[in-house]
Structure 1
């Protein structure tokens, strides 16, 4: 996780948009989003943030994606 492929954006309504290499891959709302935001704010460094975002996105890549 030395790269930073994941990013996020928090909307006014507290929804969290998750991105992988600039493409939106997931939207989180409600309690799930609140929990993620609190963990992101408590993260010590960028590496921990990337790990939290990777876990939040789940298994979205299966190896058969086109390049």
Structure 2
């Protein structure tokens, strides 16, 4: 895990998520919604998060699920 987050950006915990009653998952980056997971994708995500051993591992899972959403023109 040391080689994955070389700049220690995940230590700041920029990612978060919210789950609704209907098992819809909203993924957030610095408080802004960036992706919505529904159905099977949401179930798989929740299983992965439940298996995380640490906060940093949760952050890594969230980063991988969100993908490459930053393109340089965000404000």
Structure 1 residue ranges without an equivalent (≥5): none
Structure 2 residue ranges without an equivalent (≥5): 1-9
Deviations 1:10-67 (A, max 9, x none): 110111100000001110001111000011011000000000001111111012223x
Q: TM-score, normalised by structure 1?
A: 0.93
Distance 1:56 1:44 in 2: 17
**Structure 2 equivalent of residue 30 of structure 1:** 39
Q: Please list every run of at least 4 consecutive aligned residues from structure 1 whose deviation after the TM superposition is greater than 4 angstroms.
A: none
Aligned length: 66
Please report the RMSD computed on the Cα atoms of aligned residues, expressed in angstroms: 0.8
Q: TM-score, normalised by structure 2?
A: 0.83
